[in-house]
Amino acid sequence: MVLLLNYMVIRLIMQKGAICAIAEYELLFNFLKKYRRRALRGNEEDMALYIGANYHPHDWDKKRWETDIALMKQAGFTTIRVGHLCWDSFEPDEGVYTFEWFDKFMDLLDVAGIGAVLDVSMRPAPVWVHKLCPGCNLYSKGGNMQPSIHRYMEDVADPSYQHYAFRFAKILTNRYKNHPALAAFGLCNEIGSGALSFSPQSRQRFIQWLKHKYATVEQLNRAWATRRWCRKLTAFEDVVFPENELFLGAPEAWLDMRRFFAEMTGDFMVKLKETVEECGINVSHSSNHYAEFDTNGFDYLNTYDKFVEYPGIGFYPGYKITEKYYSLMSTYNQRLAETDKPMWCLEFQSGSEGWHHGPYGAVRMMAMLCLQNRAQMILGWTWRTMLAGEEQYLSGILGHDGLPTVNYQEYRQIASDMKKLEKYAFPYVPVPDTAVAFSSDNDYVIQYGTRHYKQTYRQTKTEIQKTFFDLNRDYNVIGLKNRKHDYKLLILPQYVLMSQEEADEIRNFVKNGGNVIMTAYSATVDEHSQAFATPRPGHLQDVFGIRVAGFDRTGGEWKEFSENVRFTENENGKHELLKVASDEEFYIDVDYYEELELHTAAEYAAFPEKRLCAVSVNEYGKGRAYYMAAETDAEFLKWLLRKLTPELGLYGGLSVPEGIQAREIAKGQKFYVNTTAQTIKISLGKPGFGVLSEKEYADKLILKPYDAELIMN
**What's the whole-number average pLDDT of the chain?**
93
- The residues facing 574 across adjacent strands are 569
Angle, alpha carbons 238-239-240 (nearest 5°): 115
The answer to whether residues 384 and 68 touch, using CB atoms and an 8 Å cutoff, is yes
| DSSP string over 340-372 | -S-EEEEEEESSBBTBS--STTHHHHHHHHHHH
Q: What is the pLDDT of residues 84-127, one digit of tens each?
A: 999 999 999 999 999 999 999 999 999 999 999 999 999 999 99
Report the distance separating Cα 590 and Cα 578, nearest Å.
7
Report the distance separating Cα 273 and Cα 59, nearest Å.
27
The answer to whether residues 183 and 309 touch, using CB atoms and an 8 Å cutoff, is no
Residues 6+ apart with CB under 8 A from 619: 600
Task: State the pLDDT confidence band at 258, using cuts at 50, 70 and 90.
Answer: very high
CATH 3.40.50.880 in the chain: give the residue spans: 434-648
Report the distance separating Cα 107 and Cα 100, nearest Å.
11
| DSSP string over 444-458 | HHHHHTTTT--S-HH
| Maximum C-alpha span of the chain | 85
CATH class of 78-301: alpha beta
What pLDDT does residue 571 have? 79
Verify cis geometry, omega within 30 degrees of 0, for the bond prior to 124: yes
3-state secondary structure of 310: strand
Of the candidates 509, 507, 515, the one whose C-alpha atom is nearest the C-alpha of residue 537 is 507
| CA-CA-CA-CA torsion sign (628, 631, 633, 636) | negative
Report the distance separating Cα 164 and Cα 685, nearest Å.
62
The answer to whether residues 157 and 272 touch, using CB atoms and an 8 Å cutoff, is no
Report the distance separating Cα 117 and Cα 379, nearest Å.
10
What percent of the chain clears pLDDT 70, i.e. is strictly above it? 94
CATH topology of domain 434-648: Rossmann fold (3.40.50)
C-alpha separations of 691 from 161, 175, 530, 548, 711 in Å = 51, 42, 57, 53, 6
Residues 6+ apart with CB under 8 A from 211: 236
C-alpha separations of 53 from 287, 348, 409, 691 in Å = 15, 8, 13, 25
Of the candidates 705, 707, 706, the one whose C-alpha atom is nearest the C-alpha of residue 695 is 707
CATH class of 660-712: mainly beta
Q: Residue 90: phi, psi to the nearest 5?
A: -95, -35
200-214 vs 217-224: helix crossing angle, rounded to 10: 100
| CA-CA-CA-CA torsion sign (359, 364, 367, 372) | negative
Q: What is the pLDDT of residues 655-702, one digit of tens each?
A: 999 999 999 999 999 999 999 999 999 999 999 999 999 999 999 999
What pLDDT does residue 280 have? 77
The answer to whether residues 295 and 241 touch, using CB atoms and an 8 Å cutoff, is no
User: Could you tell me whether strands 182-189 and 115-119 are parallel, antiparallel, or unpaired per DSSP bridges?
Assistant: parallel
Mean pLDDT over 367-382 rounds to 98
C-alpha separations of 80 from 14, 314, 346 in Å = 39, 14, 9
Of the candidates 687, 692, 691, 695, the one whose C-alpha atom is nearest the C-alpha of residue 713 is 687
Task: State the pLDDT confidence band at 558, using cuts at 50, 70 and 90.
Answer: confident
Q: Which amino acid is at 521?
A: Y
Q: What is the pLDDT of residues 620-664, one digit of tens each?
A: 999 999 999 999 999 999 999 999 999 999 999 999 999 999 999
Report the distance separating Cα 399 and Cα 391, nearest Å.
13
What pLDDT does residue 18 have? 46
The answer to whether residues 481 and 506 touch, using CB atoms and an 8 Å cutoff, is no
Q: What is the pLDDT of residues 187-218, one digit of tens each?
A: 999 999 999 999 999 999 999 999 999 999 99
Task: State the pLDDT confidence band at 44, using cuts at 50, 70 and 90.
Answer: very low
- The residues facing 551 across adjacent strands are 594
Residues 6+ apart with CB under 8 A from 486: 514
Mean pLDDT over 163-169 rounds to 98
CATH 3.20.20.80 in the chain: give the residue spans: 78-301
What pLDDT does residue 47 have? 77
CATH 2.60.40.1180 in the chain: give the residue spans: 660-712
What percent of the chain clears pLDDT 90, i.e. is strictly above it? 89
Report the distance separating Cα 100 and Cα 111, nearest Å.
17
What pLDDT does residue 40 have? 53
